[in-house]
Amino acid sequence: MPLFRLTSSALRRLALPALLTAQCAVGTAAYADSAAGAYLAARHADLSRSFPEMVEYGTRAIAQDPENLDVLEGLIVAQIALGKLDDALPYARRLASVSEGNQIAALVLLGDALADDDWDTATELVGTKVSIAPVIDQMIQAWIRIGQGKMSDALTIFDTLGEDDASIGFTLYQKALALAYVGDFEGAASILGGERGALQLNRSGLFAHAQTLSQSDRQEDAIALMKAAQSGMTDPEVEQVITDLEAGKTLDFNVIRSPQDGIAELLFAVAETVGPEGDQTGILLYNRLAEHLAPTHAGVLVLSAQILEQMGHLELAIETYGRVPQDSFAYQHAALGRTDVLRRADRLDEATGELRTLADTFPGTLRFRVALGDTLMQQDRFAEARDAYDLAIARFEVGLSTQWPTYFQRAIAAHKLDDWPAAEADFRKALELSPEQPTVLNYLGYSLVERHEKLDEALGMIERAVAARPDRGYIVDSLGWVFYRLGRYDEAVEQMERAVELEPVEPILNDHLGDTYWAVGRKREAEFQWRRSLSFITDDTDLTELDPDRIRRKLEVGLDVVLEEEGADPLHASE
């Protein structure tokens, strides 16, 4: 979670380069060989936020037209977004020389000055040539003063900002980090403990608080803080801190090791605070600047990867997750994020291999075993998936509501392997842990209907699922299907029609609606739905749930004959 929430008036968006409004009708590569090709390709890449292509074609375009401001801006943005601020520097200098007030250029120049301890240049840039928000500008100036050895000036800035209720939490956290950096651990611990106003600390803030308590000889308070942070799930980093503290070890303060780290933490907090509702490119620019100042900051790297993933830059996200240091508190989180993106990128074999290695390397982190099972399920490798879930579940020490998905997934694996007794037991265990979980209620209820078992219980389960998720077509379909199995055909039609309204192109639901229409004598409409069902089948359709040949046979001879051929009970409305 973010450290704090600034009010909307406290942050104003970074001025991004104006995007060119002309729309290109063909892909980027089509432009590359014409006289104006590089320029047009760069425009298209800029519009689509294709950062690698923008760098490729923007570099060519600038070689042909060095003073083109639009391309210069787009090229600089792309290079920052790719984490290549040093590569952006010569272009930023050129842009600043012809467009003195350009904030994108100034942002790069600021990053370069800060990284080089050029505090005087940084002072001149912040708040004049580049401005994030007035309160943030002042906090950066405070860290610059610390870099210049003027701690008293920095504290004056923090204290002045602390008079504004809109940003007091933000200011107090930054002041605490500054105090800890210069060795005033007691003052820092006091602030982080909420003695001057309650703070909502993220993980980095939690560790900073524990470290300052430990440095202040308050070991028991540090232990209590970390134990209170335990969620019931395995967290090796928190457990290691507790172990060290209980062994009498004094924790080093390593959250901030330089003024650059302080500014990076500030920029990271800004990006984290703006969140997914903000302009993703702008957030990425802030965060990449933080990354430039603190290249191994795990939280910054993870956030950059998450933003890139949200923007659809999966390969860049994979690379960025992979740069989180293995000795970092966030390494395991980042490793799991990387495998998730590998799965999204259809690199399933790589994801499986990395998860196996992670599960063996960190046997106490059960989420790797669970994620391995999930990845194997995605590949229909159900026996291997069940083995992975078995190893995770065997290490559950107590039953927690958060464990229901693991039992649920193992139940599905067992069901796919035709081991119904084991599947039913796990479905019921999942419900024991989370009794009103609609996904489990629906799956178990539907499975019982398909097996013609415990139909009254199945109906009750599915009705509860529909009450919880009335807008889910699959769940409404299950209610219609149990009515169908019970011979309550009119009720089945009502629910099936509603399900198809919610999921109009889902082939299974359309097939079911056809069956219910047939059952009430609406045979032309039934045939229409069966044809629709066939037309909606794709490569992603689960053909274990839908048999196209059976649908074609129903179109040839009707549902009654198909049921007779299958040896199934004929249609019979309930009394």
User: Which sequence spans correspond to the domains of the chain?
Assistant: 35-128, 132-256
**Look-up: residue for tokens 């529909």?**
466
pLDDT score recorded for residue 404: 96
On the CB side of 24, CA atoms within 13 Å amount to: 19
Question: Cβ distance 206 to 182 under 8 Å?
Answer: no
> CA 312, CA 433: separation in Å to the nearest integer?
35
Question: Cβ distance 407 to 433 under 8 Å?
Answer: yes
What are the helix (H) ranges across 536-575? Answer: 548-557, 559-566
**Look-up: residue for tokens 């629906």?**
442
Distance of alpha carbon 399 from the chain centroid: 27
> What's the one-letter identity of residue 538?
T
Residue 275, Ramachandran bin (φ over 0: left; ψ between -120 and 50: alpha; else beta):
left
DSSP state of 130: B
Question: Cβ distance 551 to 530 under 8 Å?
Answer: yes
Nearest one of 494, 473, 4 to 270, comparing CA atoms: 4
For 127-148, give the DSSP string: TTTB-S-HHHHHHHHHHHHHHT
Question: Cβ distance 148 to 124 under 8 Å?
Answer: no
- CA dist 369 to 325, 377, 392, 430, 560, Å? 21, 12, 6, 18, 47
Predicted structure pTM score: 0.80
Q: How far apart are the first and last CA of the chain?
A: 56
**CATH 1.25.40.10 correct for 35-128:** yes
pLDDT score recorded for residue 276: 60
> CA 7, CA 2: separation in Å to the nearest integer?
13
> CA 140, CA 533: separation in Å to the nearest integer?
60
> CA 226, CA 422: separation in Å to the nearest integer?
39
Q: What is the mean pLDDT of each run of 10 residues along the chain (575 residues)?
A: 38 34 33 57 72 83 83 90 93 90 92 96 93 90 96 94 82 94 95 84 88 95 89 71 93 93 91 74 91 92 93 94 88 94 95 96 91 96 97 92 95 96 97 95 93 91 95 93 93 96 95 96 96 92 88 95 92 74
> CA 495, CA 532: separation in Å to the nearest integer?
18
> CA 32, CA 36: separation in Å to the nearest integer?
8
Question: Cβ distance 409 to 429 under 8 Å?
Answer: no
Pick the CATH number of 132-256 from 1.25.40.10, 3.60.110.10, 3.40.190.10, 3.90.1170.30: 1.25.40.10
In this chain, the answer to whether the domains covering 35-128 and 132-256 adopt an identical fold is yes
